[in-house]
Structures are given as structure tokens and as C-alpha cells.
Chains A and B, each alone.
Chain A
Amino acid sequence: MTREHREWTDRFSEYLDGTLDAHEAGRVEAHLGECGACREVMAGLREVVARAAELGEAEPPRDLWPGIASAIRGPARDGGRPTQASVIALPTAHADGVARRSSRVDGLLARRSWLAAAAAGLVALSVGSTWWVATSTLGPPGGVASPAASSADPVVAVQSGAPPADLAGELAALEEVLAAARGALDPNTVRVLERNLGVIEQAIADSREALALDPGNAFLAQHLERMYRRKLVYLQDAVRVVQWSG
């Protein structure tokens, strides 16, 4: 696109949104009448805006309520929250309940934030690598899945700290593929992948540590399970990169 075109197209969004004054809007319309390239750009922008307005709701891929319920209820040993009946019957109990709720949830969020901070890098990380795991130490601490890991419930399984049984095999297979492909990748790519994997593994280690301190916490177990699933996604992405690079 030439500089002249760009001087016009830079105003197209404001034109579409109706925020150009009448004089400027008239100039844009006049230019559109004589410039096919700009008409094409404008048509594309209109389509983007129209499609954005039509975007529907996306449903979560799984039910998120159990994790929320676990967080807002908390372990019974902490005393839980007042029952609804007592809350409604006794305003003072309600106030107490609110205070306790805030304290509990703030605590959970604070701990979650700590976990999230460890995991935050995962978001942008596209890939994990495996040669690192394959050659060193960083398989999921705990090594072989414990008997609990064979449970049908991945959250229960992961309470041992091991990856869910349904992921362990695929994780290992992807790690093998990547370990074999390492030599074919650009050294800069390898460095990025290794750095990313370090963050992933740190997030898993932090989650495991938190779970070890509070082994009955279903919320933490679920969080750790998600970390493993993210690792799987990154490994899958990494294999695709290898395939593309090939």
C-alpha cells in the first residue's frame, strides 16, 4: 500500500464508526469513488466489523463450576460457611458469613495468584520441549504414576502429583519426537523452547508444592491437572512446528 493510500485508509475506521466530521467524511467518500484499492480495503474493514458484531458466545470446553464451588466452599476442616438457613435467619451470621467468605476467597485468590504467577508465562508459551525432559530431570517429579494416577478421575489422579494417566503416554511420546528432532532445529528456536519449557515445569513444580502442603485441596489438584494438560498442548504445538520446519 502506498503512502498516499495509507493516508486515506488511516481514516477508514473513524469513517466506519461515524466519528469523522462531515467534511472529512465527504472527502473519504469522494476518494472511495475514484480509488478501487481503497474501496477494497474499506470493504474488508466493513466485513471485519460486521463479523465481530456477530460473534457468538463460546462455551467453556469443560464445566468450570466444580473448581469455583470448591474455591468458594473451601475444605470442611476450616469450618466452611454458615448454612443458608442460619444466614437468612440471623443477620449477624450473614455479616459474619460475608466476612468469612471474603477472607476465604481472598486467601484462595492470593494463593491462586501465586500459582498463576508461576504459570503466567505458559499463556504465551507456545511450546514445550522434551529433550530437556528426556535427558534430565524434569519429568514430572514423582516419576512413575502412582496407583492413584490410574484412577478414572484425572483430578483424583493428579493429587499424587503425577500427570493424569490419560496424558502420561502421549506426553512421553511427544517428548520422544521432540528429543529426536532437536538437532534439526535452529539453535535460537531450541533456546526459546527450552526457556519456555522451564517455565512450564516451574509452574508444575509450584503447583505440586502447593498441593503437597494441602493435599486434600481439590482446587489445587484441578489446577495441577490443567498445568499438565497445557503442557500437552504445548508439546503438540511444538511437534507441529517441527513438522512445519521439516
Chain B
Amino acid sequence: MSKEPNPRQPSLRGRLGARVPEHFEQADVGRAAGGDHEAFERLYRGHVGRVYSLALRMAGPGEADDLTQEVFIRAWSKLDTFKGQSRFGTWLHRLAVNHILSRRAATSRRESRLLGGESFLDRVKARRERASGVAIDLDRAIGALPARAREVFVLYDVEGFSHEEVAEALGVTVGTSKSQLHRARMLLRERLS
């Protein structure tokens, strides 16, 4: 994934890095790498909101808790590989995106086998909501997007990645990233209007 920030808005990585004074966080990272659970808990408390939000929007409420826990468990196991070349939040976010996407890929394959892709209730809900004409909130509308469009939308419009970064993370072309983003925006426009 490119290290170039997306100029459209402060990236998540920038926002993550700004929340805790760097020297405090660096000290906690060092302590946690040495096995200090309390230091790791402080890191968790400082970053759980952003990781959970990412998981929630990428995978939905049914998976967000588990994914968030897995990301932090994975981060604990890999702390010794964190070299301090970037902010801890940047590193954690990259790890979170990779983990969530890899889990989503496995889940999507399973869902596809079981349900032929889109969930039954999602279809019913979307149909009802369109029929009712009731505006729904953005998070719910994001959750009802097709998986690929949702992933691109969250990474690009919410998290501030560039199309090149999204394409690399998802293993698709930049053109696919752009077309899925447009598809997501158009669907959201319809559902929110």
C-alpha cells in the first residue's frame, strides 16, 4: 500500500496518529512489546473506536466485535515487528484493513456458497425501505451495499485512501475501484434520498 497520503481529507492514519501524544504512545508500544498488558490496554483504549468503526462499516455489526478483537490480538502478536517507522496508529490501521479484508474474502466465499451472495434479509430490508420511502442513515445504507462496493466506498470515502491504495488492498484494478465507488455512491444516493 502506498505511503502517500490522500489529499482529499485527513486520512484515517493521520487522524489516528493525532489522538495521543506520540511520546506517550511510543512508550506504551515499547512496554507492550515487552509484555506489558496494561500498556497494551491503553493502546487498545486509544484506538478501539477507529478499528471498530472500520470493522463495522466493512463487515457489518454481526462481525465487527470479533474482527476488532482479532485485530488487537493479531497486533499483540506482531508488536515485535513494529519498528516505529510510522505511527502506531498507522501500523495498526494497515494491519486492521488487511485482516478485515482477508476475513471478509473468506466469509464472502462462504456466504456465496450458502446464500448465493446477498443475504436474504438484506434484500428484504432494502426492498421495504425503498418501498417505504423512508430515509435511512448513512451507516445503515452502507451496510446494505454489495460487498465490493461497500469495501471501496469505506476505504475511499470514509477512510481516505486513494484509488491506488484501494486497488492494492483489494487486489483489483484502479478502474474497478473507481467504478465500484461510483456504483456505491449512486446506490447510497438513491437510498438516502
Instruction: List the A side residues contacting B186 at CB < 8 Å.
Output: 9, 41, 45
Q: Which of A214-240 contact B (CB under 8 A)?
A: 223, 226, 230, 233, 237
| Interchain CB contact (< 8 A) of A117 among B106, B114, B124 | B106
| Interchain CB contact (< 8 A) of B107 among A61, A120, A244 | A120
CA distance A185 to B158 in the complex (A): 39
CA distance A90 to B73 in the complex (A): 24
Q: Report whether over half of chain A's contact residues are helix, strand or loop; otherwise say mixed.
A: helix
Q: Are B63 and A123 in contact (CB under 8 A)?
A: yes
B30's nearest neighbour on chain A, judged by CB, is A88
Q: Does A140 contact B (CB under 8 A)?
A: no
Q: Which of B32-84 contact A (CB under 8 A)?
A: 33-37, 40-41, 44-45, 48-50, 52-53, 56-57, 59-60, 62-66, 68-70, 72-74, 76-80
A41's nearest neighbour on chain B, judged by CB, is B189
| Interchain CB contact (< 8 A) of A126 among B68, B74, B122 | B122
Q: Are B76 and A105 in contact (CB under 8 A)?
A: yes
How far is the CB of A199 from the nearest CB of chain B, in Å?
A: 6
Per-residue CB proximity of A1-43 to B under 8 Å, as 1/0?
0000000011011100101000000000000000000000100
Q: A72-B37, A94-B34, A126-B121 are in contact. Are A120 and B69 (CB under 8 A)?
A: no
Size class of the B contact interface (CB-based, 8 Å): 35 or more
Per-residue CB proximity of B70-110 to A under 8 Å, as 1/0?
10111011111000000000000000000000010011001
B31's nearest neighbour on chain A, judged by CB, is A84
Q: Report whether over half of chain B's contact residues are helix, strand or loop; otherwise say mixed.
A: helix
CA distance A235 to B52 in the complex (A): 25
Q: Does B157 contact A (CB under 8 A)?
A: yes
| Interchain CB contact (< 8 A) of A60 among B64, B107, B114, B121 | B64
A58's nearest neighbour on chain B, judged by CB, is B53
Q: Which of A95-103, A141-149, A173-181 contacts B (4 or more CB under 8 A)?
A: A95-103
How far is the CB of A87 from the nearest CB of chain B, in Å?
A: 4
Instruction: List the A side residues contacting B153 at CB < 8 Å.
Output: 52
Q: Are B8 and A97 in contact (CB under 8 A)?
A: no
Q: Are B124 and A241 in contact (CB under 8 A)?
A: yes
A-B contact pairs, 6 of them (CB 8 A): A13-B185, A52-B157, A64-B52, A65-B45, A120-B107, A125-B115
